[in-house]
Amino acid sequence: MTTWERKVCLLGAAGVGKTSLVRRYVEGIFSDAYLSTIGVKIDRRAVTLGVDTVNLMVWDIEGETDHRSLRMRYLRGAAGYLLVADGTRPETLDTAQALQALVADRLPTLPFALLLNKHDLSDRWALPAGRVAELAGRWSVLTTSARTGASVGAAFDGLARRLLPPMG
């Protein structure tokens, strides 16, 4: 059995649910209280994947109001990242795509996935299906809900699996 240390960053617009996703994944809880992250908050969770354990250091980075302001220093040493968009606010998908382009420009091989969060609010879902399908053809895209926990573990664990060296 091998233990790996991996840093994962969460990126996205303010209010998309990055902190709630991390709390659901690390602590198994959800709170309706909104607290804006300032700077970065770091949490840890060990994930067992087959015979390997991945100690994830999850960096919850403050929400971006202007994607050009992403502090690339937060990504230093990252093994991968999760982009988060709010399914009830289409403009947050624009922010996620802009952030991905910015990161890919400097770190083109860094694995990532796009999380379309707040799926529990399906009656308010506002993302164009065609646009989501187009992104899903190029990226790993998951629909999540921090409130219910739907696909949260799959999102983090799936990225962690991609961060392990190839078998063989």
pLDDT digits (tens, 9 = 90+) for 70-83: 678 889 999 999 99
Three-class SS of residue 163? Answer: coil
pLDDT at 69 exceeding the cut of 60: no
DSSP conformation class of 63: P
**pLDDT score, position 66:** 59
* Residue 31 DSSP one-character state: -
Does the pLDDT value for residue 67 go beyond 60?
A: no
Tokens 């403009």 found at: 91
In a domain, 69, yes or no: yes
Structure tokens at 135: 């992104």
The number of distinct structural domains making up the chain is 1
Q: Is residue 167 part of a domain?
A: no
Q: Which of 5-19, 25-39, 45-59, 60-74 is the least confident region?
A: 60-74
| Within-domain flag for 157 | yes
Task: Give the range among 16-20, 86-90, 150-154, 163-167 with minimum mean pLDDT.
Answer: 163-167
**CATH code of the domain containing 157:** 3.40.50.300
Are the C-beta atoms of residues 111 and 80 closer than 8 Å to each other?
Answer: yes
Q: What is the pLDDT of residue 64?
A: 73
Q: Would residue 28 count as lying in a domain?
A: yes
The partner residues of 45 in beta bridges, in order of sequence, read 56
Q: Evaluate whether residue 131 is within a structural domain.
A: yes
Cite the DSSP H helix spans in the chain: 18-27, 91-106, 129-136, 152-162
Specify if 109 maps to a domain.
yes
Query: Would the pTM of this model clear 0.85, i.e. be above it?
Result: yes
CB 30 within 8 A of CB 20: yes
Counting every residue written for the chain, the total comes to: 168
State residue 62's pLDDT score: 86
In a domain, 71, yes or no: yes
What is the distance between the alpha carbons of residues 125 and 117, in angstroms, rounded to a whole number?
A: 10
**Nearest to residue 119, comparing CAs of 96, 97, 88?**
88
Q: How confident is the model at residue 162 (pLDDT cuts 50, 70, 90)?
A: very high
The boundaries of the domain holding residue 130 are 3-162
